Amino acid sequence: MPKLYKIGTPEQQEYLRDYHYNPKGMAFSEPGVIASDAKEFLAFNIAKSFYQVHPEVFNLAYVEEKTGIKKEEAAKRLKRLYDEKLMMLVKNSCVNIMGFGLYYWVVKLKEGTSKEDRKDLYDFFQNNDQICTGYPMDEGGEFDFYNGNHMRNLDNLFYGVIEKFRHRPYVEWVHICPVRRLIRESSVNQFDAKEGYRHYFFEEDQVKKAVKLQKKMDEKDFAIIEALNNSPTVGEMFDYMVLSSLSGLPAKEMKEDLIKAVDHDRGVIPMIYLNYAALGLHQRFFLVSLFENTPTYRSEQIADGLAKDPRFVNFFDFSDAHHNYMLSIYDELSDADEIRAKLNSYGEVKEVLESLSSRQFRRWTARLDYENGLYEECVFTDDVLLDRSTEGM
């Protein structure tokens, strides 16, 4: 008989022990968290500063071993992928343990909203540096924007961002969706995945489809990204001797520090982001709501089951929200009908809303609008000691 985790029994909330970080929804400040400029991150910070012109900061010997692509060729390919704004070295942080809440929110516009009004809101979201992540949806979907903030508290999110646009006459609703578990982002399993931490999902059949659809990336390019993202440890992702020669800092210490921060503490994930929009790919988003009487443990069981599907690019699990999950796929590389049927096969699912997105505003603070010359522009915001509710008073 399966466990029911009933209150007053030895099973009470026992399911929480299955996760590295217990499912959560608000900001936690945990002992052991280190600042972004701590010495544990030196290796990443150096790689981030140099990879645009020195792709040899990556462990090209490991890439050659895994793919058969010679180091010299891999370096040239990585340089081209960056120059053509097809990839970006990024760092995802487990912000919930750093004193931030990870608050995503969904915006629905009223039917008949003009293109001018939609563009005004689009520009507001793209240019607001407090919004660290965001996806505009194409017209005709069941919701219109999906954006996210790391904020110290809900009031700062509400007054600093949402209150500045929600009263516009063409906005139908805004739903705040605090992230209980960040399970997958940009095809990489994140801190709250039950299993497969740091695993990168891009299946062979998806690579073949992607290569047929465009001429900017071939199988070798995808293989290089997969090798680096799927390195068994961050110790294999970078060439620490190269980082040492560029910085003058000891390679052994930098490697040990980054391994501790990433592989042991699981506070950050260095990863290569694929700029799918530049390849002409679209993401189809599924906003899933369960019936309100679904127990939390069951919601997490469903999430863990869905997370085994490699086709999902993003997977956010919400708490204290109208909705329970936001998942996405590459529309050209996966069968939307199959995904839709899979989601609706769960008896607990009350509603699934869908929208298609052609691009992303920014990903975890780094801008993606390369057409404006702002690719990789990054402003990390922190509202510590700020009270946005009093601004303008």
Distance between CA 180 and CA 28 in Å, rounded? 11
Instruction: Enumerate residues 6+ apart whose C-beta is below 8 A from 264.
Output: none
The whole-number pLDDT of residue 243 equals 98
The burial class, CB within 10 Å (0-12 / 13-18 / 19+), for 189 is: buried
**Do residues 344 and 352 touch, judged by C-beta distance below 8 A?**
yes
Alpha-helical segments (H) within 10-51: 42-50
Low-confidence ranges of the chain (pLDDT < 70): 392-393
DSSP conformation class of 255? H
The whole-number pLDDT of residue 2 equals 87
Beta bridge partners of 136: 145
pTM above 0.85, yes or no: yes
